[in-house]
């Protein structure tokens, strides 16, 4: 990364008086000219320990517009990720001694919930699992990662904003996976939207409709959701596990009931629910066709969406087309752990599934589609790009740990 080892001179621009501070939101401005050390809690900014690519700033919970001036003395190509590897900017090329300015919207959240009234049921925190306690998704910082061997960032500016938000509720196939090589489609989604909307990915590995509710994850979303927002809901991989008796839901009854409840809670707050069918697992028959391992659950989602009159994104159908286009000999290249994992995806697979979701947004959620980037061509899952030609600069964090719930 081109920082010339002359990293960041940080300045927090605040209102000049207490009276003005009540009216003017804080702005954090950083200039890549002077050295700065590791993250210092007293200062509230700095590079994460042992890294010159992960830069964090302590900020309150909310949405932030981050404006970056990219470029350096030499030609550069910069990919920017936020929080737990959310893809924000992909391969921005800048000529030598030139600067290109780009903006992104980053969602920052904490596990805290407002306490319920006296004698009322409820909780005060999301019940995080051990995987999440060290995740950049749940801390008190906005973290950016600058990826690529020639990445170059001159300046950045952070300011709070209020924008429409897309909330994601789902499982490990959707979540922000903390480390390479695993990836969820939700963490690729921000790359495909303009910097006028926030993507808040609350999906988590191992979750079901029932556990997501019991752990106050839905409560967290409902505490932040507002009129004009969207809630994308994709569960099924774990809900179908009858050997998980505390969270199992039946496709014909309770699964549909929970989907209705999620949709109803979003609608009550003026937001639009969008139901998403689970993508297939990688299981081919002798003829090279994908085998449905989800039973009646995808059809239950389709029928519930029709019954409620809410948009549907049929990722189940699109993923079958995508995997079959690759074929049994190549489809493993879309999956985690060198294809040993037939459920979870790598960067290539998550990226293409995100493009499927984006195409579903175009086809079924026209008001949300207005926020998609204008340079994005239509995506045909029957004609995916070759996995061998796909490149995305990896993040520094790597782990061989199997995703929770696998």
Same domain assignment for residues 119 and 245: no
Closest Cα partner for 103 from 69, 53, 76, 154?
Answer: 69
pLDDT band of residue 256 (cuts 50, 70, 90) is very high
Segment (H or E) for 260:
helix 254-268
Same domain assignment for residues 257 and 384: yes
- Give per-residue pLDDT as tens, 98-144: 999 999 999 999 999 999 999 999 999 999 999 999 999 999 999 99
Same domain assignment for residues 376 and 244: yes
Specify the pairing of strand 86-94 against strand 76-82: antiparallel
Taking all residues of the chain, what is their mean pLDDT, rounded to a whole number?
93
Q: CA 174, CA 164: separation in Å to the nearest integer?
A: 20
Closest Cα partner for 308 from 279, 342, 274?
Answer: 274
Q: Are 58 and 45 in contact (CB under 8 A)?
A: yes
Residue 23: predicted pLDDT: 56
Please report, rounded to a whole number, the percentage of residues in the chain having pLDDT higher than 70.
94
pLDDT, average across residues 365-389: 96
pLDDT band of residue 15 (cuts 50, 70, 90) is very low
Q: CA 106, CA 144: separation in Å to the nearest integer?
A: 9
Tell me the backbone φ, ψ of residue 88, rounded to 5 degrees: -110, -50
Q: How many domains does the chain have?
A: 2
CATH number (domain holding residue 232): 3.40.50.1110
Q: CA 88, CA 151: separation in Å to the nearest integer?
A: 14
Task: Tell me which residue range forms the domain holding 32.
Answer: 1-162
Question: Which one of 110, 133, 162 terminates a domain?
Answer: 162
pLDDT band of residue 24 (cuts 50, 70, 90) is low
Closest Cα partner for 350 from 403, 285, 272?
Answer: 403
Same domain assignment for residues 112 and 207: no
Question: Which one of 162, 192, 213 terminates a domain?
Answer: 162
- Give per-residue pLDDT as tens, 383-401: 999 999 999 999 999 998 8
Same domain assignment for residues 349 and 230: yes
Same domain assignment for residues 140 and 190: no
Question: Which one of 162, 177, 200 terminates a domain?
Answer: 162
Same domain assignment for residues 112 and 176: no
pLDDT, average across residues 269-275: 98
pLDDT band of residue 38 (cuts 50, 70, 90) is confident
Residue 33: predicted pLDDT: 64
Residue 3: predicted pLDDT: 44
Q: CA 233, CA 29: separation in Å to the nearest integer?
A: 36
Segment (H or E) for 364:
helix 347-364
More confident residue, 20 or 154: 154
Same domain assignment for residues 205 and 131: no
Helices 297-308, 254-268: crossing angle, 10 deg rounding: 40
Give bridge partners of residue 2 from the DSSP assignment. Answer: 152
> Residue 161, Cβ neighbours under 10 Å: how many?
16
pLDDT band of residue 279 (cuts 50, 70, 90) is very high
pLDDT, average across residues 226-239: 98
Give the torsion through C-alpha atoms of 292, 298, 299, 301, to 10 deg: 180
Give bridge partners of residue 193 from the DSSP assignment. Answer: 372
Half-sphere exposure of 375 (CA within 13 A, CB side): 3
Maximum Cα–Cα distance across the chain: 72
- Give per-residue pLDDT as tens, 289-345: 999 999 999 999 999 999 999 999 999 999 999 999 999 999 999 999 999 999 999
Question: What contacts 262, CB < 8 A, 6 or more positions away?
Answer: 169, 209, 218, 231, 233, 273
Q: CA 167, CA 165: separation in Å to the nearest integer?
A: 6
Residue 1: predicted pLDDT: 45
Same domain assignment for residues 47 and 2: yes
More confident residue, 91 or 401: 91
Question: What contacts 217, CB < 8 A, 6 or more positions away?
Answer: 126, 169, 202, 204, 207
Same domain assignment for residues 248 and 335: yes
Long-range contacts of 396-400 (CB under 8 A, 24+ apart): 396/51, 396/53, 396/54, 396/145, 397/85, 397/178, 397/179, 397/180, 398/179, 398/180, 398/181, 399/178, 399/179, 399/180, 399/182, 400/337
Residue 14: predicted pLDDT: 42
pLDDT, average across residues 362-370: 98
Helices 315-326, 347-364: crossing angle, 10 deg rounding: 130
CATH number (domain holding residue 82): 2.60.120.260
pLDDT of 346 over the 50 cut: yes
pLDDT band of residue 16 (cuts 50, 70, 90) is very low
Same domain assignment for residues 150 and 182: no
pLDDT, average across residues 82-98: 98
Same domain assignment for residues 101 and 199: no
pTM of the model: 0.94
């Amino acid at each position: 990364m081109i920082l010339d080892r002359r990293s960041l001179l940080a300045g927090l621009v605040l209102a000049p008086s207490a009276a003005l501070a009540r009216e003017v939101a804080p702005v954090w401005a950083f200039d890549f000219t002077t050295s700065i050390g590791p993250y210092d809690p007293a200062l509230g900014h700095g590079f994460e320990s042992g890294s010159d690519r992960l830069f964090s700033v302590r900020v309150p919970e909310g949405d932030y517009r981050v404006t970056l001036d990219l470029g350096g003395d030499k030609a550069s190509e910069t990919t920017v990720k936020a929080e737990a590897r959310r893809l924000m900017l992909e391969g921005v090329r800048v000529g030598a001694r030139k600067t290109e300015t780009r903006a992104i919207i980053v969602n920052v959240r904490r596990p805290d919930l407002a306490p319920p009234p006296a004698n009322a049921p409820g909780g005060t925190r999301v019940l995080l699992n051990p995987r999440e306690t060290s995740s950049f998704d749940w801390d008190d910082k906005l973290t950016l990662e600058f990826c690529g061997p020639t990445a170059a960032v001159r300046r950045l500016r952070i300011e709070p904003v209020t924008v429409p938000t897309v909330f994601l509720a789902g499982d490990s196939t959707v979540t922000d996976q903390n480390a390479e090589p695993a990836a969820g489609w939700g963490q690729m989604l921000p790359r495909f939207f303009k910097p006028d909307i926030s993507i808040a990915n609350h999906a988590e590995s191992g979750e079901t409709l029932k556990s997501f509710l019991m752990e106050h994850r839905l409560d967290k979303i409902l505490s932040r959701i507002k009129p004009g927002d969207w809630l994308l809901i994709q569960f099924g991989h774990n809900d179908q596990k009858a050997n998980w008796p505390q969270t199992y839901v039946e496709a014909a009854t309770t699964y549909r009931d929970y989907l209705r409840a999620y949709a109803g809670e979003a609608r009550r707050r003026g937001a639009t629910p969008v139901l998403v069918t689970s993508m297939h697992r990688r299981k081919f028959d002798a003829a090279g066709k994908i085998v449905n391992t989800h039973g009646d659950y995808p059809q239950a989602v389709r029928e519930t969406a029709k019954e409620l009159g809410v948009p549907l994104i049929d990722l189940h159908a699109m993923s079958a087309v995508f995997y079959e286009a690759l074929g049994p000999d190549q489809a493993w290249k879309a999956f985690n752990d060198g294809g040993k994992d037939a459920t979870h995806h790598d960067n290539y697979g998550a990226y293409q599934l995100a493009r499927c979701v984006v195409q579903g947004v175009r086809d079924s959620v026209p008001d949300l589609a207005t926020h998609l980037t204008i340079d994005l061509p239509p995506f045909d899952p029957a004609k995916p790009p070759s996995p061998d030609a796909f490149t995305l600069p990896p993040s520094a964090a790597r782990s061989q740990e199997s995703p929770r719930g696998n």
